[in-house]
Amino acid sequence: MGSHSSSQHHFAFQNAEKAFKAAALIQRWYRRYMARLEMRRRCTWNIFQSIEYAGQQDQVKLHDFFSYLVDHFTPSSHHERDFLNRMFTEDRFAQDVETDKGDDYESIEVPDSYTGPHLSFPLLPDHATALVEAFRLRQQLHARYVLSLLYETRKHLAQLPNINRVSTCYSEEITVCGDLHGQLDDLIFIFYKNGLPSPERAYVFNGDFVDRGKDSVEVLMVLFAFMLVYPKEFHLNRGNHEDHLVNLRYGFTKEVMHKYKIHGKKILRTLQDVFCWLPLATLVDEKVLVLHGGVSDRTDLELLAKLDRHKIVSTLRCKVRKESENQEEKRKVNQTNSGQRPTPWFLPQSRSLPSSPCHLGSGLKASKACRSCSIPCGSVEQSRQVRRSVDLELERCRQQAGFPGIKEKGEPLPSAPDCDADAGEVLEPTQEEWKQVVDILWSDPMAQEGCKANTIRGGGCYFGPDVTEKLLEKYKLQFLIRSHECKPEGYEFCHNRKVLTIFSASNYYEVGSNRGAYVKLGPALTPHIVQYQANKTTHRLTMRQRISRVEESALRALRQNLFAHSSDLLVEFKKHDASESGVITLSDWALAVESVLHLGLPWRMLRPQLVNSSVDNVLEYKSWLESLAKEQLSRENIQSSLLEKLYRNRSNLETIFRIIDSDHSGFISLDEFRQTWKLFSSHMNIDITDDNICDLARSIDFNKDGHIDINEFLEAFRLVEQSCSEGHASACLQSTENAENGGSSPGTR
Amino acid sequence: MAEEKDREGTEAIVAEFHKKIKDAFEVFDHETNNTVDVEEEEPTGYIRYEKFLPVMTRALLERKYRPIAEDVLLRAFEVLDPAKRGFLTKEELVKYMTEEGEPFSQEEMEEMLSAAIDPESNAINYRDYITMMVIDEN
């Protein structure tokens, strides 16, 4: 009996032990799986973020390029002069808006067939609510009401100070929201969950209302409407995307022209004005500072409060005042900048020249001396010569000017007739003022102490916890609320909880990529965060599925990026293959890829997703590059090096085209296209002959009327995002057949 | 001679491990100061890279966290399903995962259930579950 029961016990014990071990094994397996999943999620995040920031950097470089042209290019013919003038009509925009009465929207008729919302002024709360409801039902506001709303908004904003002071004693609480980026669903969700704005419910929206999302117009209309209805409780800060130059690249301009084909131009012009009247920051109870980007070690709230914010039309490019009044400031600025500013990318030798996003200035003597600079017509050798002679000229100009640092822009070039520098009362901002604004709109916090130039974005700086501490102490503040950076949870504390990043665009990179969040400040100003994700599908997906979707999207983008650098990658791979065996180790692969792309990604982690053809830890790199190309190319007869170059520069190309198309008609002439390409290629190291470009241009011109539809051109090389591509594909395939019949560009640079 | 070769071989492996570890570490080191935080919500402690590296290297060399083979995993589930029905009920799985071994947290349990459970039968067909997870990994 005893032994029987003991063996039973033994058996039972064995079973229990087995069960325990089995459970432990399953748990260990599951946790390992989840850890890998988390790793994938973070890698994916890194991919999206690095590509996004590289894009922003590109844009700044592009505008540097244009600034450089303005200062150093003397057109050799009146054609070229006109062309350049047209590229810089953003200056003329400012002029138009000054003289524009703005009340001629009344002449715009609203047809009886219009079923959308009607607005009348002064705006009532019901109007604003009706607007939200109408947009939720996907209606579109008529151009007349858009313009009248913008006009009223401008009038209101112009009365506000640069730093808006808000108190929580009137409203019971205040809610601060971050970037929305045209995502109307998120805005509606916030109002649904947190309640509509009211005298008891104050809101601050911290910039970046537009770009990237598809409903930027509607987001703006709602925000402006509520601001007019509750001027004391509803506040807006300017973000770096409230900027017509940034909008050219990131989709807002495109959206406006698409939704408002007739009045779009007028709307954009008015918006440009409205944007620069947006306040720069909001101060809650004199204790919490809310601004879009961040701060720098030079941030001066008094100076920011006093400057004329309206004069800073764009933070990417700015005409600044003559230097004579600002000797002191200039010298100070030079001292801090000399070590910090990265060199202009298109001038490899010049180390001491300042660059992005500063505007390169030169004195009067300099502009005359540079008369010999001109853009060549075609050959590789000539463009190299030009670059060399330009460098020499630049050096001479600098020597003549007397010192190597930043100079404010002196007299305007003889070729630009619209400069108003001598208008007197219309004073441009100083270099210092402009930098202060750039800093608060573009900076990001970092973990290390100190303050250094934000090279990733190309503007503003990285500021450390010590910078935050000093600023809070100097102005007796409790903490800082900023936005500007997407965070997986929609928010993030840093600098010892003294800086809060709040980001309100959920699923920003892709469905399932991140949550959005807003923060409520109670009377004690303690922050209370609310998170959300405005997409029904994401709730139904498991974490595993969500991450897979986002990951796929990121990897696709990354493969595109790799393809765009195929030639450089090949060169780099060959360096690791001295014996010319055609293979390299995976370790070398990782090194090579990073040295070409500079994205700072964990390539060894990502390798299994990017390379599936490796055997025994080595890779046949040529065939890998070919497989990348196959994935991207639509037709084999497009010269892959041309396509590759276009891919790499596609965002720049699109931006340039939109700048050229100054009347936003969607068409540019063949001649404009050719000229654009000449300018572009001579400074971007692209060796494509003039003839090829002409051939290309003519082949893209389907109806042979001398004009190129921008979208069709980009689509011909599959450069436009999916949403615009319907219906064009077949037409484009025909065109590319004729494209490269003449010999194409040799190799690469 | 063989020993030296062995040592060289090990050194090479360790060097490769180190690179891999650094890569992985950097993914989590989002403040780029060579530390990773241990807890998500309120970071109370940080792990410095210098400490992390030797521990992780040894773990990798000892193959402590090797992936578990599919068939081994299947047998583990079968231990918990002695009647060989081919599935575990939701209650059974929850009981084992939250009471045995190194118990799951509430969150972990919910997450596992969301992917594993068949809503119609409220059971986990473990064979299918394993297959799905393994495919996803690769």
Q: Over chain B, what is the mean pLDDT?
A: 75
What's the pLDDT tens digit per position in A421-444? 344 445 677 888 989 999 999 999
Closest by Cβ to B28, choosing from A22, A42, A447: A42
CA distance A265 to A682: 31
CA distance A313 to A664: 19
Nearest 5°: the CA angle A420, A241, A247 is 75
Q: How confident is the model at residue A694 (pLDDT cuts 50, 70, 90)?
A: low
Query: What mean pLDDT do residues A44-48 have?
Result: 75
Q: How confident is the model at residue A469 (pLDDT cuts 50, 70, 90)?
A: very high
Closest by Cβ to A22, choosing from B19, B23, B79: B79
Mean pLDDT lowest among A511-520, A654-663, B62-71, B94-103 = A654-663
A24 Cα to chain B: minimum distance (Å) = 4
What's the pLDDT tens digit per position in A500-557? 999 999 999 888 788 999 999 977 888 999 998 876 555 556 666 667 777 777 887 7
Q: What is the pTM of this model?
A: 0.63
The confidence score (pLDDT) of residue A229 equals 95
Most confident residue range from A396-400, A660-664, A710-714, B85-89 = B85-89
The confidence score (pLDDT) of residue A205 equals 97
Dump strand ranges (E) for A640-713. 667-669, 707-709
Q: How confident is the model at residue A713 (pLDDT cuts 50, 70, 90)?
A: low
Query: What mean pLDDT do residues A47-74 have?
Result: 62
Residue type, B126: Y
Query: What mean pLDDT do residues A288-302 have?
Result: 95
From chain B, pick out residues whose CB is under 8 angstroms from the CB of A22: 75-77, 79-80, 96
**Residues B32/A447, Cβ–Cβ less than 8 Å:** yes
For residue A749, pLDDT over 80 is answered with no
Catalytic residues of A: 241
Residue A733, H or E segment: helix A729-739
Share in percent of chain B as helix, strand, coil (round to 5): 60, 10, 30
The set of residues, in sequence order, having a beta carbon less than 8 Å from that of A619 and lying 6+ positions away, is A583, A584, A585, A586, A589, A611, A613
- Rounded to two decimals, the ipTM of the complex is 0.76
- CB neighbours of residue A64 within 10 Å: 24
B38–A contact, CB cutoff 8 A: no
Query: What mean pLDDT do residues A247-263 have?
Result: 86
The first and second tokens of residue A695, run together, are 């051939």
A350 Cα to chain B: minimum distance (Å) = 30
Closest by Cβ to B100, choosing from A20, A448, A548: A20
Candidates A187, A177, A171, A173; CA nearest to A131 is: A187
Strands A201-205 and A479-482 come out as unpaired
Query: What mean pLDDT do residues B59-72 have?
Result: 72
The set of residues, in sequence order, having a beta carbon less than 8 Å from that of A56 and lying 6+ positions away, is A456, A457, A458
Query: What mean pLDDT do residues A389-398 have?
Result: 44
Candidates A459, A458, A478, A460; CA nearest to A468 is: A478
- CB neighbours of residue A173 within 10 Å: 15
The confidence score (pLDDT) of residue A505 equals 95
Nearest 5°: the CA angle A602, A604, A610 is 95
The confidence score (pLDDT) of residue A605 equals 77
Query: What mean pLDDT do residues A472-501 have?
Result: 95
Could you check whether the bond before residue A122 is cis, i.e. omega within 30 degrees of 0? yes
Candidates A153, A211, A151, A202; CA nearest to A179 is: A211
CA dihedral A441, A446, A450, A451 (to 10 degrees): -30
Torsion sign, CA atoms A289, A290, A294, A295: negative
Query: What mean pLDDT do residues A242-264 have?
Result: 86
Q: B60 versus A498: which is more confidently predicted?
A: A498
B117 Cα to chain A: minimum distance (Å) = 12
DSSP one-letter string for A68-109: HHHHH---SSHHHHHHHHHHTHHHHHHHHHHH--S-GGGGS-
A632 phi and psi angles, rounded to 5 deg: -95, -30
Most confident residue range from A241-250, A276-285, A686-695, B64-73 = A276-285
Search chain B and give the residue with CA nearest A42: B27
CA distance A468 to A450: 10
